[in-house]
Amino acid sequence: MDILANDFFCLPKQLDDSYTRCRLAGVPVELLKPRNILPENKLINCLAANTILLNITDRLFTRIFSSRSPIEYLLILCDQELVALKLYATKNFMGMVDNVEIDIGTVFTEESCGTNALSLAREYKRIVAIKGDQHYSNLFKNWWCVAGPLKDYMGKTIGYLDISMLVAQELCFVTEFLKAIIFAAEKETFLLDLVLKKLQPESQSPLSTEAEKKLTPREIEIYRFLLQRLSSTEIAEALQLSISTVRTYRKNIYQKLNVNKLADLLSKYNR
């Protein structure tokens, strides 16, 4: 096993502590599917509460899965409570996912799934790798998993990412892959925060009387972004809208305020 991969394994005592918690929670060693999956009504609320996280990682995952992978694996995005928000599996791995009945809403706590990389990553606040036979229950005995916390620009954990696979030989590659994904996702959250900070009250110019009378609340929101010289792409990112929708709003704002371009808007209103 590569030295790099070994750096992420838990100590024997840490695994024993996890096994003890599983026994106390009544998790059977024979467990073959998760014990806790959120009902639809709670899952809907959970997904809504993590919209920004989902949008950021969805773009990253889409780019990742658009290219060929040298291995078969499953990528899991969880919230702070270890509820699965999104699953991405390479083609041949999808059958394994269906066999163990994992889906969005699956809760990856020790009480639900026994010892696993996600629960250990939350417990020890770091990237954790776990071999198949280190899992407490039979649910993931054939899986090698690597998981780690995903943080925002302030260093606060906002979710967890896990990569699971069947082939042990590729564990070193997967740990580096996971680190790269986490870095890219955290960079996205940092850039989004920079955009949002530009619209803090202390940085906003007073709203002109004309804009207040002629623009809708959403148009005013975008109008303020334009006065801060944000691009349509940045505005779409901040408001979780499509770029085409932002461009439509932008066109309407120009028409209502009788300007032809951003330079005219800035000259007339950004004072």
Per-residue pLDDT tens over the stretch 3-57: 455 678 899 999 999 999 999 999 999 999 999 999 999 999 999 888 878 877 7
Higher per-residue pLDDT: 227 or 61: 227
Side by side, the strands of the sheet bearing 73-78 are 84-89, 73-78, 157-165, 144-151, 128-130
- The per-residue pLDDT for range 137-191, each reduced to its tens digit, is 999 998 889 999 988 777 889 899 998 887 655 666 677 778 877 877 777 676 6
Q: Position of tokens 């940045």?
A: 234
- Looking at 3.40.50.880, 3.40.630.30, 3.90.550.10, 3.30.450.40, the CATH number of the domain 3-189 comes to 3.30.450.40
Higher per-residue pLDDT: 207 or 219: 219
* Residue 97 Cα to chain centre, angstroms: 20
- Looking at 1.10.10.10, 3.20.20.70, 2.70.98.60, 1.10.3720.10, the CATH number of the domain 201-269 comes to 1.10.10.10
pLDDT at 53: 82
pLDDT at 228: 78
2 contacts: CB under 8 Å, gap ≥ 6: 171, 172
Tokens of 15: 């695994």
- The domain segmentation of the chain, as residue ranges, is 3-189, 201-269
Task: Report the interhelical angle of 171-197 vs 51-64 (nearest 10°).
Answer: 130
Residue 67 has pLDDT above 70, yes or no: no
pLDDT at 57: 79
Residue 74 has pLDDT above 60, yes or no: yes
pTM score of the predicted model? 0.69
pLDDT at 63: 67
pLDDT at 206: 64
Confidence of residue 116 (pLDDT cuts 50, 70, 90): very high
199 contacts: CB under 8 Å, gap ≥ 6: 224, 225, 228, 238
- Lowest-pLDDT range of 100-109, 163-172, 218-227: 163-172
Helix ranges restricted to H, the chain: 3-6, 12-24, 40-49, 51-64, 94-99, 110-113, 117-124, 171-197, 209-214, 217-227, 232-239, 243-256, 262-269
**Amino acid identity for residue 138 in this structure:** N
Confidence of residue 1 (pLDDT cuts 50, 70, 90): very low
Q: Is the dihedral of CA 134, 135, 139, 140 positive or negative?
A: negative
pLDDT at 121: 96
Mean pLDDT over each residue of the chain, to the nearest integer: 83
Q: Is the dihedral of CA 90, 94, 96, 101 positive or negative?
A: positive
Instruction: Tell me the mean pLDDT in the region 123-146.
Output: 92
Closest C-alpha to 195, from 262, 241, 264:
241
Question: Quick one: DSSP state of residue 206?
Answer: P
Residue 202 has pLDDT above 50, yes or no: no
